[in-house]
Structure formats: C-alpha cells, structure tokens
Amino acid sequence: MKVPGERVPAATFEDLAMPLFDQLYNFARWLTQDTAEAEDLVQETYTKALRGFSSFQMGTNFRAWMYRILRNSFLSSRTGLKVTIPIDGEEDETLLPAEHTTPESILIAQANREMVQQALVELAVPFREILLLCEVEEMSYQEIAETLAIPMGTVMSRLSRARKALRTLVAKNDGGRHGV
C-alpha cells in the first residue's frame, strides 16, 4: 500500500530490459539471418541502452525505445539494409489436426510456407520490417510508430502497402496454382 508522499522507487534498467531479451533476440535473428550476428546486435543494443538509460523518459514506451536502438544499430551495422529476412523455425508448427494430416496436405502447407518466405525475401526492407513488427512481434500501431519514428498514419499506409505487395509477390511466385 502506497503511503501518501512516499516515492515509488524507479524501475531499474534490468527490471525493464530483461523481459524484452527474447523478443529483441528474435527480431535481431530475423533481421540478420545469422545467430552470431543476432547475438552481437542484441549485446550492442543492451550496451547502448544501458549507457543511454539516464536519457530514457520514464512513463514513455520502453519497449519501443529498445526496438529503436536495435533497429538503428542494425541499420548502421555492416549488414544493414543488404540483408533479407527468411521465416525460419516454423517446422514445429502444427499444420493440421493429426486425423486430417495427409502427405498431400503437408506438401501443400510446406509449399505455401516457402512461397511466403520467398515473397518476404523479395519485399523491400521497410515493408518487411513493418510486417515483422506488426505480425511477428505483435506491436501496436503506436509502438511501431515510436519504434520507427514515423507518424501513425505512415504506419497504417505502409502496412497496407506491405500486405498488398506481399499478396502480389505470393501470387506471382505461386504462378496461379492456388488462386491467392
């Protein structure tokens, strides 16, 4: 129970940052496509964030602040915008209920996943990035706007264009086989 006039202790860097570790590593892995580079990127992100923690304004979105540091570190790295982003690690995903799984359904699901992966690789980095933040990292539009330092309207329009571009690329890669 809070006593009137009593100061609530400020959250420490560790209290705020450590719960984000797995999410930041996941995002770094998607960006770099390399485990060692992702580890280095997350380490660099935490180092920069700890160094700059005194400039963080409590009450603002710490998660978006950390993602922005990671993104800026990635963009200024040697890998930067030259990298593409595959969707790895989804093999453990349940394709269909066991009683309906057939070799054909598994093959179709794998082909569909590969088409989406290829389409994501072909997307421009700003589109790929915004789709990952929204769909994989499940950030709100507001968090994406803060992370990318762009207006909320830009988030919505870029996300819409990214989804449309992804659909177009999937349809192109599909060659009309599945009628996307």
Higher pLDDT, 4 or 139: 139
| % of residues, the chain, pLDDT over 70 | 70
**70 and 115: one domain?**
no
- 131-157 tens-digit pLDDT: 888 888 889 999 999 999 999 999 999
Asked whether the CA dihedral 43, 134, 114, 162 is positive or negative, the reply is negative
For residue 31, what pLDDT is reported?
A: 80
- Among 21, 99, 106, smallest CA distance to 67 is for 21
Is residue 168 domain-shared with residue 102, that is, in the same domain?
A: yes
Provide the CATH number for the domain around residue 135. 1.10.10.10
Q: What is the mean pLDDT of residues 120-134?
A: 84
* C-alpha to C-alpha distance for 123 and 144, rounded to whole angstroms: 18
**How does the average pLDDT of the chain come out, rounded?**
78
List all residues 6 or more positions away from 105 whose beta carbon is below 8 Å from its beta carbon: 95, 96
CA 91 centroid distance within chain? 19
- Lowest pLDDT segment from 23-27, 75-79, 107-111: 107-111
Range of the domain at 132: 98-174
Instruction: Give how many domains the chain has, as a whole number.
Output: 2
